[in-house]
Structure 1
Amino acid sequence: MKNNILVLNNHGLGDVVMSFSFFENLLSNDSKSKILVLFKSNLEKELFTLTLVYDKNQSRFKLYSMNEIKKLFLYIFRIKKAYSLGINEVKSKKLFKILGIKEYYLAHSYEYIKSKSTNVLHNEKILHKSLLYDNLLYLSDRFNLNNTSKDFFVDLENVNDIGKYIVLTGGSGELEKHKRWTSIGYRGLVEKIIDNTEYKIVFVGSSSEQKIVDEILLNIENKYQEKIIQLNGETSLKELIKILRNSSLVVGNDNGVLHIASACDSKILGLFGSTDYLITGPMGNYIEIIDNRIECAPCYAKDGNIEGCEDNICMKGISSKQVYNKLKAILKL
């Protein structure tokens, strides 16, 4: 009977992207075990199915979302080992105890307290989340790790009838509004790009983030509208990946789309201040960061409060001129 390895990966899209190299390394160092993965929702699960690591190893994987957690109990006596990728330590331990798993490893990038546990990694190591997850493998089995920045997704038919364009993504989770750059900042950037370049602007994100785009474009002059394409809530994950791959540049604050763009190996300009880009920022070959970190940042890590502060002056301190100047340097304008 083959052993199973359980991986808890039930955070958002960004965390799932950060785990891609973890799974590549896990499979390359374990040729027999079946990998059971628990995702937050079907959206995160779907994103993982578009990766090369899944496409080439489908028979090795069993994927679940949180509403399918009961199915895991079918494997209760066959799970040998488990990894928790940035999940609440108490919840992870409880689940592992219920499943009878004795060998497990935890990664919690936002815990600043020290732990006596020998199988817990914290970000006192100053590790990016992707590397933190990979270090769980090293901790458990002394694996050979291969950390690469590349396009992690399967080949998709690329059809681009938009022309030259720059993607803007200004959303974030409802509990993470402190990550967002200002609507005024994005609007000023849109105007500068259209006034001074040949690029079109493409907005992407979820349908619930359309209100952010509406606020950005509120009362913007008609001359800009013809070069703006709004695709919030209009794309599948496959279509989003194609749009990000074909873009000249992706500009945005800390969110899932920015991480998906990094997994496409796209050019990225990330806007940070309230979160630590060294831990949760995008990783890739073409990453530029504007970091307006102030004394209190990262504002939700020290006490575990995901809602952050009510006045994200760090993000408000980033100007559209500053972002446009960095954009020009990246695109050699």
Structure 2
Amino acid sequence: MKDLDPKNIIVRMPNWVGDLVMATPILFDLRQKFPKATITAMIQKPLCELLKKDENINELFCFKKVKQLFLRRKENKNIIENLIEGKYDLGVLLTNSFSSAWLFYQGEVKNIIGFRKDFRSFMLDKAINYPKEKNHQIDKYKKLLEILSIEKSNSKPKIYLDKKEIEDAKELLYQRGYKNNQKLIGINPIAKYGKAKCWPIERFKEIAKKLSKDENNFIVFFGSSTDREEIKKICLDMPDRIINLAGKTTLRELASLISQLDLFLTNDSGPMHIAAAFDIDQVALFGSTSDLLTGPDSEKAIVINKKVKCSPCFKRVCPIDFRCMLKISVEEVFDKMIKILNNK
């Protein structure tokens, strides 16, 4: 495939926010290699919102993930028909599932490349082994591009916003009481993957209390609609300079707000990677997962990881004493944050 000159490329993007953001350099590298090609990014709703303004793609192929069997068959039929109609001459699978390869195969996508996973190799035109080395996820994605003679680049994750989106984010903050002279601090106390990735929520509350003692600090809690009530409890009896936007933003609104932060405190999560894509100062807390594999790709990110014996376990719920996160103290996190804020 080294001499391939595709005219119509489709890239199946990952299904989690963080993985999606870490995969954006692939779109950039493909655009650099094939500047005249039409590049389509295929991704689940609502994650496709994040790529809406991406300058490296020509089209977005958004689809729904359907659980009910009959509806799933109908959705898959529509996907296959659209793939056939697209006449794609290069398919890049950044997902490892059998189903994603099957859809490309049934959709008559030519020159399908991907990792040798989930008994799907017979549907791929070129399959390589999933890297066993402890490389960052971004580098693993880039390994696939070697099939196309694209050497590993220094491209980094990036999310594209327009001027209006940024202005709207600022207006939302102004309506909630934020002033331009204040330092804007975001806190993301949740991780969708599971509780094992989350620092105890009461410690995030302690951090917010400490930060709120300085009237120059304005603090925003982020989260999904399912986290709203839990975060609401944190914000009770707190100063007006601490607000809860959990479940009140779209993905693009969340990205726009994060892009304006002076500092971000977060678990290993999708919003952590969004902040890294904007090169925002952040303190990222790791326990059950590995910052070597999925850490924020930004020189402005400070990672706290106690690297206890049982970590990384990659479990959704800790089966023992949660030592990886409990060893991270409020004082250590607060000190890191204050050092960053004092330098602004």
Q: TM-score, normalised by structure 1?
A: 0.81
Counterpart selection for 1:287 from 285, 298, 301: 301
Q: Which moved more, 1:317-326 or 1:60-69?
A: 60-69
CA contact (8 A) 2:212 2:239 kept: no
Of residues 187, 203, 209 in structure 1, which corresponds to 2:205?
Answer: 187
Superposition misfits of 4+ residues, deviation over 6 angstroms:
none
| Cα distance in 1 for residues equivalent to 2:29 and 2:214 | 45
- State how far apart, in whole Å, the 2-side matches of 1:245 and 1:214 are: 23
Q: Is the 8 A contact 1:131 1:147 kept in 2?
A: no
Q: How does 1:215-230 map to 2 (within 5 A)?
A: 215-217=233-235, 222=237, 224-230=238-244
Query: How far apart are residue 149 of structure 1 and its match?
Result: 4.1
- Match for residue 329 of structure 2 among 290, 308, 319: 319
AA aligned to 1:208 is: T
Give, in angstroms, the shift of residue 188 of structure 1.
Answer: 1.5
Counterpart among 186, 190, 206 of residue 171 in structure 1: 190
Label 1:23 to 1:141 Cα distance change in 2 as closer, same or farther (>3 A).
same
* Structure 2 alignment gaps of length 5 or more: 1-5, 66-74
Q: CA deviation at 1:122?
A: 3.0
Structure 1 residue 331 and structure 2 residue 341: aligned?
A: yes
Distance of 2:330 and 2:96 partners within structure 1? 35
For 2:68, the equivalent position in structure 1 comes to: none
Structure 2 counterpart of 1:214: 232
Q: Report the aligned-residue RMSD.
A: 2.9
TM superposition shift of 1:287 = 1.0
In structure 1, C-alpha distance between the alignment counterparts of 2:197 and 2:56, rounded to whole Å = 30
Distance of 2:334 and 2:24 partners within structure 1: 31
Work out the CA distance in 2 between the residues paired with 1:166 and 1:62. 32
Contact 1:50 1:154 in 2 (8 A): yes
- In the TM superposition, residue 278 of structure 1 has moved relative to its aligned partner by 1.7
SS in 2 for 1:74: helix
Distance 2:127 2:317 in 1: 28
Q: CA deviation at 1:16?
A: 1.2
Q: State the shift of 1:145 in Å.
A: 4.4
- 1:153 maps to 2:163: no
Distance (whole Å) between structure 1 residues aligned to residue 95 and residue 336 of structure 2: 32
Aligned partners of 1:107, 1:184: CA distance in 2, in Å?
A: 41
Aligned to 1:263: 277
Give the secondary-structure state (helix, strand or coil) at the position aligned to 1:87. coil
Partner of residue 141, structure 1 = 148
Judged with a 3 Å threshold, the aligned counterparts in structure 2 of structure 1 residues 250 and 50 are, in CA distance, closer, same or farther, namely farther
Residue 286 of structure 2: aligned partner: 272
Aligned to 2:111: 103
> CA contact under 8 A between 1:149 and 1:285: conserved in structure 2?
no
Q: CA deviation at 1:196?
A: 5.1
Displacement of 1:327: 1.0
Residue type at the aligned position of 2:200:
T
Moved more, 263-272 or 155-164: 155-164
| Residue 13 of structure 1, CA deviation | 1.2
For 1:72 and 1:266, locate their aligned partners in 2 and report how far apart those are by CA, in whole Å. 39
Question: Which SS does the other structure have where 1:190 is aligned?
Answer: helix
Structure 1, unaligned stretches of length 5 or more? 55-59, 301-305
Aligned counterparts of 2:93 and 2:239: Cα–Cα separation in 1: 45
Aligned length: 309
Matches within 5 A, 1:302-317: 307-311=316-320, 312-317=322-327
- The worse-fitting range, judged by mean Cα deviation, of 243-252 and 7-16 is 7-16
**Identity %, equivalent residues:** 25
Q: Which residue of 1 aligns with 2:50?
A: 47
- 2:222 is the counterpart of 1:204: yes
Asked whether the 8 Å contact 1:170–1:212 carries over to 2, the reply is no
TM-score by length of 2: 0.79
In the alignment, the residues of structure 1 paired with residue 100 and residue 158 of structure 2 have an alpha-carbon distance, to the nearest angstrom, of 31
SS in 2 for 1:6: strand
Q: Is the 8 A contact 2:113 2:127 kept in 1?
A: yes
State the 1:309 CA deviation.
3.2
How far did residue 199 of structure 1 move? 1.0
Matched, 1:243 2:250: no
